[in-house]
Each structure stands twice: as structure tokens, then as C-alpha cells.
Amino acid sequence: MTGDRPKRGRIAAPAESGAENSEDFALTPPARLSAAIEVLADIAARRRPAADALKDWGLAHRFAGSGDRAAIASLVYDTLRRRASAAWIMADESPRGLVIGMLRLQYGLAAPTIAEMFSGERFAPDPLTADEWTRLTEGTLADAPLHVAGDVPEWVLPSLEAILGAETRDELRALSRRAPLDIRINTLKHSRADALAGLAHLTPEPTPHAPNGLRIPIGEDGRGPALHVEPEFIDGWYEIQDEGSQLASLLSGARPGETVIDLCAGGGGKTLSLAAMMENTGRLVASDDDPRRLAPIHERLRRAGAVAEIRTPRAGRARADVLGDLDGGADRVLVDAPCTGSGTWRRNPDAKWRLRPNALSLRVADQAAVLDRAARLVRPGGRITYITCSLLPEENDAAVAGLLARRPDDFAVIPAADIVAAYAPGIAPSVRFTRHGLQMSPALTGTDGFYVATLARRG
């Protein structure tokens, strides 16, 4: 240790900062800003997911406590939410410029307040320049293009406008805000009414639309309680699940005694919803083309007391079809299709900036393949529920239209209005009905951007 003062704007270890040990050391708000700028610089330089850069920063700065790491993550993600608009008002795409712009746009801070945090003292970022001060006080989004003001990639905007229409600007603003924290009560163990009382220490409120959902308050810093360590979670009372995802499962209409296949089960969130809807009766089969995604499902089923048969494909191109014996026998097939995730950009804001047109093309091909597989599984008179967490019509109505074109004599769309009337009549004013399905969205529904369509196989 040389004893030299660390470079301004960078975070030093506790001994360098004068703290006696890491337990006594906590980063100041300006130091957290410096850390966020460091992480954003790493993301830009290495073109990597934000979660990876944040993890590496934490490993390199082990003295930073969990509160510091969570606060820095909030700053990073909020900056990524407003990356385009912050760069516009600051005329600066550097990590520092983006953070400064975000503090004004996302947090509503005035220039003097921001200047206090950018003091250059100890571990604070360097003081604002004259140009930065001018941009903060005079920069405006009044003349910004819609994709800039709405913080989305320009090439995606036409697709979003096709579904969102005149509400595009409002929806993009909602898509740039933080998402709420929702849980689904596991009705195999408790009713929502009972859970409201049992979880009173979390001060939950019923979700606006989903009948078994609760919304947990989050702090101004975007942090909620550590739900995964709560005793009630360990005992299987609830799963963390966005209200939109809960509604998508509900709209499948799965009933006790049926044979239901969750074709793209992943970690099992919707599988658990289906098991509760089916009251652990009938036959519920969960599978996924990527066996690695299925890894968490076994423990989640055990915790929830849910019954499902897991079909795990072997890795490699020559793997056998683990669902072949079920062809033509399923009452319902739920397809939670691989997609761009554009409807979840509130939660994963860095994903929108990493999305490229070729990735959309790959997802469209994946969706066609999985729909074709579902078509072979469902029995005559059975149904396919097609779900994405996307706002892009190419992945939604166009995918359904593709199956109808490939199998014109075998399948017909059940109008989404009929599905809503049957399973969730209260949400009708809060969704957009499309040609083949329905679209949820942050501004209109208050959920992630889920799409749901239902196809029936002709008898």
C-alpha cells in the first residue's frame, strides 16, 4: 500500500478509504454514481450483459455491501432504461453523460442537486463541466425523434407502432419505468385471502387483474424485500411472477383431469400455474428444447407441492423426441415461445440495446418450429395457447398466421374476446385485441407485454 490518494471518481478498498474493515465501509451516493459509471463503461467496452458486468464489479469490490451493490445495479439499469434520451439531452453518449442525463430524466433531479453529487471529492465523480451544466438546464426532448424520446432501438419502432398505434409514446414511457414486484399465490396450499393475512409483514396488495396475485411494494431505490428467503416462499406459499405471466397461464383454460403439455417450460413458472389450475389432477407434462433451462423446475415443483411429469431431452443434435408418444393426445398445449423479450424491457433494459434484426429473424424461425411441434401434440378438438413476452407483431399475430397458412385445414383461431370472457372477463378493457390474439402492455394493462392467442384443432 503506497498511501497515495486514489484517483477521483473511482472506488478504493476500505483500507484506502480510511475504514477499519469492510463492515464499517459503506459507499456514499456519489461513490455509487462513480461505480455505476465504471460498470457502464465495462458494458460498453466489452458489449456484455449488464448482469455480468455488475457481478464482476462486485467480485472486484468485495468490501461493497449488499445495499451498495443493489443501489449501483439500480443506477445502471435506470441509465440503460433512458440511454437514448439521456444521450440526446446531454449530447454525450459516454457512461458519465448517460448517468447525468438519467438523473434528470428518470429521477427528476435539478442541475444544482446533481452538481452536489458530482463534486470530485473523495470518490465522487469529477465536477460538472460548463457544457454539462448547460445541457442539464437547457437540454430538451421536445425535438427528439420518437425512438429517442421513447428509448428504443430505431429499427424496432415501426413494429411497436403497428401494435401500439396512437398510444406508442405513452407505452414507451411506461416501458422505460421500473416494473412492479408481483407474486402468485400457490392455491395448492393457500388462498389469496389467507395469504394476504399471512404475508401482512410484506404489506401486499391484490394485483389489479390476476385473481391469485399480490403486489409487493418496492422502495424508491427499486429494491423490494428478499422474497426468496422468506419462510413462506421456502414453504411454497408463492412464486415470484409478473401479473401478465399469471394472466397468460389463466387464459390457457387448463382444467382438472386434462392432459396438458407445457412445451417450452423453462424454469417452470407457468408449469406451476398450470398445476394449481388443474388441482394436481389429470396429466401435466413439462419439457423444453434446452435441457439446461429445465434445471430449476424440480426444486420448484417440490416446494410448491405441484405434480408434473418432466421430459428432459438429451443434449446434442441427435437427441430423441421425448414427447413422441404424446402426439395427438393432448387436450391443451401451452407454448410459451422463445422470443425477443421486448415486453419485459422494464426488467431487462440492457436487452433492448443488444437486440439485433437477425436475432428477431432467428426467434421467428424458432416460433414456427415450436408451433409446428405443438400442432402434432394436440388432439382433435384440443387447443394450443400461444404466448410470448413480446410486443412485436412479427412474433405474435404473424406467428399464428404462419401456422394457419401451413395447416389451413387443421386449425382455427378462437377469438381472444371469447377466451377473455370465459376465463378473465375483467381484463377486457385493459388489453388490446389483435387480429388473432390479445396484447398486454405496461401502460394499458400494468403488466409486462405478454401476447396470448388460442388455436383449436378441428375435430
E strand map for 194-264: 205-206, 213-216, 238-240, 259-262
Q: Hey, where are the domains in the chain?
A: 14-141, 145-459
Q: Which three cell numbers stand for residue 61?
A: 469490490
Beta carbons of 192 and 182 less than 8 angstroms apart: no
Residue 227 is predicted with a pLDDT of 95
CB 88 within 8 A of CB 148: yes
Q: Are 252 and 332 in contact, with CB atoms under 8 Å apart?
A: yes
Give CA–CA dist 217/219, Å, rounded.
Answer: 7
Q: Please count the CA atoms within 13 angstroms of the CA of 77 that sit on its side-chain side.
A: 23
Percent of the chain clearing pLDDT 70 (strictly above): 93
* Rounded distance between C-alpha atoms, residue 37 and residue 348, angstroms: 18
Q: What pLDDT band is residue 248 in, cutting at 50, 70 and 90?
A: very high
pLDDT at 166: 97
pLDDT of 219 reads 84
**In whole angstroms, what separates CA 326 from the centre of its chain?**
32
Burial of 256: CB neighbours in 10 Å, binned 0-12, 13-18, 19+: exposed
Q: Distances in Å between the alpha carbon of 272 and those of 216, 246, 301, 321, 381?
A: 20, 10, 7, 23, 25
Residue 224 DSSP code: -
By the 10 Å C-beta count (0-12 exposed, 13-18 middle, 19+ buried), 184 is classed as buried
C-beta separation of 180 from 218 below 8 A: yes
For residue range 174-209, list pLDDT tens digits in order. Answer: 999 999 999 999 999 999 999 999 999 999 999 999
- Reported as a single tens digit per residue, the pLDDT across 326-364 is 999 999 999 999 999 999 999 999 999 999 999 999 999
In contact, 75 and 32? CB cutoff 8 Å:
yes
pLDDT tens-digit readout, 44-89: 999 999 999 999 999 999 888 888 999 999 999 999 999 999 999 9
Report the 10 Å Cβ neighbour count for 147. Answer: 20
pLDDT at 300 over 60: yes
Query: Rounded to a whole number, what is the distance in angstroms from the first to the last CA of the chain?
Result: 78
The CATH number of 145-459 is 3.40.50.150
**Catalytic site residue from 27, 105, 247, 389:** 389
Contacts 24+ apart (CB under 8 A), 165-172: 167/443, 167/444, 170/443, 171/441, 171/442, 171/443, 171/444, 172/146
Could you give the CA distance from residue 170 to residue 164 in angstroms, rounded to a whole number? 9
| 389 classed as catalytic | yes
The overall average pLDDT reported for the chain is 93
pLDDT for 5: 34
Q: How far apart are CA 295 and CA 290, in angstroms?
A: 10
* Residue 144 confidence class, pLDDT cut points 50, 70, 90: very high
pLDDT of residue 319: 66
Decide: 183 and 204 in contact? Cβ < 8 Å. Answer: yes
Tell me if 336 is assigned to a ligand binding site: yes
Poorest-confidence range of 31-45, 141-155, 302-316? Answer: 302-316
Q: Are strands 451-457 and 205-206 parallel, antiparallel or unpaired?
A: unpaired
Report the predicted TM-score, pTM, of the whole model to 2 decimal places. 0.92
pLDDT of residue 109: 96
